[in-house]
């Protein structure tokens, strides 16, 4: 069965050179520009299917350009006074579109509050069994709650960090890593899982219960 893959471009920091290179090898069924992510999406020159947000940080002339009848795009506008971030609203749209996988670009940057909120939005998708990650030039961030195999030649960067998302992650075992673990409980506030490396062609993250934040990173 064909997978429904969605690319979401939000308003955080983006290295356009990195994004152009990344998109060369990736195929997406739907592209969603979130608020000022529309500026980046427009600069990339990629087809946009949905534009979502309150548009408080979007140049008016750019929005009017996409409002013209020359574009096959759906614009969903919200009031700036709302109970969810624009990215959260775009996540809701992705679920309505029955996404199987979501890649979110521009979800990190100088606003740590927004970045933390975006990491927590991954929890919603994890509970819906939707594969999702935040990606920038240096990091790929996702959540796992089950045994997971990662492959060295597919990593975003050479460093792998594992941080508890839940209060406890029980019986974590790491195989194929420079620093292995055997049935070790990890707790909130524990830095044990920072900056590991995969040394075999593939590595296994095994856990009994709980949720881990996984960060594939490069300097």
Lowest-confidence region among 5-9, 21-25, 68-72, 165-169: 68-72
- The structure tokens 């670009």 sit at 105
pLDDT of residue 189: 93
Q: Domain locations in the chain?
A: 5-137, 144-217
Task: Give 25's contacts (C-beta < 8 A, 6+ positions apart).
Answer: none
Task: Report the topology of domain 5-137.
Answer: Rossmann fold (3.40.50)
Angle, helices 86-96 vs 112-127, to 10°: value is 20
Handedness of CA 23, 29, 34, 36 (dihedral sign): positive
Handedness of CA 15, 21, 22, 28 (dihedral sign): positive
pLDDT of residue 91: 97
Instruction: Say whether 100 sits in a helix, a strand or coil.
Output: coil
Please report the DSSP string for 20-87 in residue order: HHHHHT---SEEEEETTHHHHHHHHT----EEEE--TTS-HHHHHHHHSTT---EEEE--SS-SS-HH
Residue 184: CA count within 13 A, CB half-sphere? 16
Q: pLDDT band at 69, cuts 50/70/90?
A: low
Second CATH level (architecture) for the domain 144-217: Sandwich (2.60)
Q: How far apart are CA 37 and CA 51, in angstroms?
A: 9
Share of the chain above pLDDT 90, in %: 81
What is the average pLDDT across 145-160?
Answer: 97
Tell which wins on pLDDT, 25 or 147.
147
Burial code (b: 16+ CB inside 10 Å, e: under 16) for 157-185 equals eebbbbbbbbeebeebbbebbeeebeebb
What is the average pLDDT across 155-176?
Answer: 98
Q: How far apart are CA 81 and CA 181, in angstroms?
A: 47
Q: What is the pTM of this model?
A: 0.94
């Amino acid at each position: 069965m064909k997978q429904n893959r969605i690319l979401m471009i939000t308003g955080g920091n983006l290295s356009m050179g990195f994004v152009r290179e990344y998109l060369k090898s990736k195929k997406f069924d739907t592209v969603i520009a979130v608020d000022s992510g529309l500026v980046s999406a427009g600069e990339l020159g990629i087809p946009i299917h949905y534009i979502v947000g309150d548009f408080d940080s979007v140049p008016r002339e750019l929005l009017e350009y996409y409002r013209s009848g020359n574009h096959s795009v759906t614009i969903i506008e919200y009031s700036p006074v709302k109970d969810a971030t624009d990215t959260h609203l775009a996540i809701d749209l992705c679920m309505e579109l029955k996404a199987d996988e979501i890649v979110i670009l521009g979800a990190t940057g100088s606003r740590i509050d927004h970045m933390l909120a975006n990491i927590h939005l991954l929890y919603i998708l994890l509970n819906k069994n939707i594969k999702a990650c935040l990606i920038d030039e240096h990091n790929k961030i996702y959540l796992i709650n089950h045994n997971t195999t990662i492959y060295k030649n597919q990593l975003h960067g050479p460093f792998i960090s594992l941080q508890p998302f839940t209060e406890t992650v029980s019986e974590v075992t790491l195989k194929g890593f420079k620093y292995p673990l055997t049935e070790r409980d990890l707790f909130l506030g524990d830095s044990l899982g920072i900056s590991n490396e995969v040394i075999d062609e593939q590595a296994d993250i095994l856990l009994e219960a709980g949720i881990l934040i996984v960060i594939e990173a490069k300097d």
